[in-house]
Chains A and B, each alone.
Chain A
Amino acid sequence: MASSSTATADTARRGGTVPVSGPSRPRRRQRSPWVPWAYLLPAFAVYAAFLLYPLVRSAQLSLYEWDGLTLGTFVGFQNYAEVLTNPDLRGSFGHTLVLIGFYAVLPVLLGLPLAGLLTRAKARGLAFFRTVVFLPQVVAMVVVAVAWRRIYDPDGPLNDVLRAVGLDSLARGWLGDYTLALPAVGLIGTWVQLGLVTVLLMAGMSRIPTERYEAARLDGAGPVREFFAVTLPAVRGEVAVALTLTIIAALKTFDLIYVTTAGGPGNSTAVPSYEVYRRAFKLGEVGSAAAVAIVLTVLIFAISLVVNRIADREEK
Chain B
Amino acid sequence: MSRAPERPGRFRTPARLRAAVGLVAVLSLFGAAACAPGSDSKKPAGDGTDRTVQTDAAKLGNVTLTIWDQEVRGGQAEQMKALNDAFHAKYPNITIKRVSRSFDDLGATLRLALSGNDAPDVVQANNGRADMGKFVQAQQLIALDPWAKAYGWTERYPDSVLQYSRYSADGKTFGEGNIYGLPQVGEIVGIFYSKDKLAKLGLQPPKTWSDLTSALATAKQGGEIPLQLGNLDKWPALHVFGTIQGQFVPADTVTQLAFGRRGASWTTPENTRAAEELLKWVNAGYFNGSPNGTDYDKAWQNLAKGQGVFLIGGSWLGADLGKAMGDKVGFVAPPPGQDGKVAATGGTGLPFTITSKAKNPDAAAAYINFITSSDAMATLTRTGNMPVVETSKQQAPAGVQGDIFTAFGATTESGRLLPYLDYATPTMADNMGAALQELIAKRSSPQQFLQKLQDDYGKFVDGNG
Contacts and interface: CB of A to CB of B under 8 A. Distances in A.
B41 interface: yes
Interface string B421-441: 000001101100111011001
Among B30, B34, B140, B293, which residue has the most Cβ atoms of chain A within 10 A? B293
Contacts of B130: 282-284
A56 B36 contact: no
B111 A69 contact: yes
Interface stretch (A27-35, A93-101, A112-120, A147-155): A147-155
A154 B288 contact: yes
Interface in B92-108: 107-108
Contact of B2 (A152, A263, A316): A316
Contacts of A149: 295
A172 B107 CA distance: 31
Among B1, B107, B294, which residue has the most Cβ atoms of chain A within 10 A? B294
B416 interface: no
A177 B293 contact: yes
Nearest to B42: A71
Nearest to A287: B37
Contacts of B27: 52, 56
Nearest to A61: B37
Nearest to B292: A176
A238 B131 CA distance: 48
Contacts of A267: 434
Given A70-B137, A172-B289, A173-B292, A64 B30 contact: no
A71 B41 contact: yes
Contact of B290 (A172, A261, A264, A284): A172
A168 B232 CA distance: 21
Contacts of A286: 37
Contact of B294 (A57, A176, A181): A176
B328 interface: no
Given A69-B111, A313-B1, A316-B2, A264 B37 contact: no
Contacts of B112: 68, 281
Contacts of B298: 153, 155
Contacts of A103: none
A172 B134 contact: no
Nearest to A174: B293
A154 B290 contact: yes
A286 B107 CA distance: 16
Given A69-B111, A174-B293, A265-B441, A52 B434 contact: no
A221 to B, nearest CB: 24
A152 B435 CA distance: 23
A237 B1 CA distance: 15
Interface in A54-76: 56-57, 59-61, 64, 66-72, 74
B38 A69 contact: yes
B134 A284 contact: yes
Nearest to B231: A176
Interface in A262-316: 262-267, 277-278, 281-284, 286, 313-314, 316
A67 B39 CA distance: 11
A155 B430 CA distance: 26
A69 B107 contact: no
A64 B30 CA distance: 17
A53 interface: yes
Contacts of A262: 232-234
Contact of B293 (A48, A60, A71, A172): A172
A64 B31 CA distance: 14
A230 B1 CA distance: 19
Interface string A137-177: 00000000000010011110000000000000000111111
Contact of A69 (B2, B115, B295): B115
B441 A266 contact: yes
A61 B289 CA distance: 44
B413 to A, nearest CB: 36
B149 interface: no
B135 interface: yes
B437 A52 contact: no
A154 B288 CA distance: 9
A170 B34 CA distance: 55
A178 interface: yes
A266 B443 contact: yes
A289 B325 CA distance: 44
B434 A72 contact: no
Given A70-B137, A173-B289, A176-B232, A266 B111 contact: no
Contacts of B233: 262, 264
Given A265-B441, A278-B430, A284-B111, A70 B41 contact: yes
Interface string B37-58: 1111100000000000000000
Contacts of B138: 67, 69-70
Given A266-B441, A267-B434, A56 B134 contact: no
Nearest to A66: B37
A105 to B, nearest CB: 23
Among A60, A74, A172, A181, which residue has the most Cβ atoms of chain B within 10 A? A60
Contact of B292 (A48, A53, A265, A281): A265
Contacts of A278: 430
B36 A71 contact: yes
A61 B35 CA distance: 10
Contacts of B246: none
Contacts of B446: none
Interface in B410-465: 426-427, 429-430, 433-435, 437-438, 441, 443
Given A56-B34, A72-B38, A67 B134 contact: yes
A173 B293 contact: yes
A173 B294 CA distance: 7
Interface string B298-321: 100010000000000000000000
B4 interface: yes
Interface in B228-280: 231-234
B291 interface: yes
Nearest to B36: A72
Contact of A173 (B34, B290, B427, B434): B290
B26 interface: yes
A314 B4 CA distance: 12
A175 B36 contact: no
Q: Which 3 A-B pairs have the closest CB atoms?
A: A173-B293, A176-B293, A173-B290
29 contacts: A52-B30, A56-B30, A59-B31, A66-B37, A67-B138, A68-B111, A68-B115, A69-B115, A69-B138, A70-B40, A74-B36, A149-B295, A153-B294, A154-B288, A155-B298, A175-B293, A176-B290, A176-B291, A176-B292, A176-B293, A176-B294, A177-B292, A262-B232, A262-B233, A266-B435, A266-B441, A283-B130, A286-B37, A316-B1
Given A70-B38, A284-B130, 7 more contacts: A48-B30, A70-B39, A71-B38, A266-B434, A281-B108, A281-B112, A286-B37
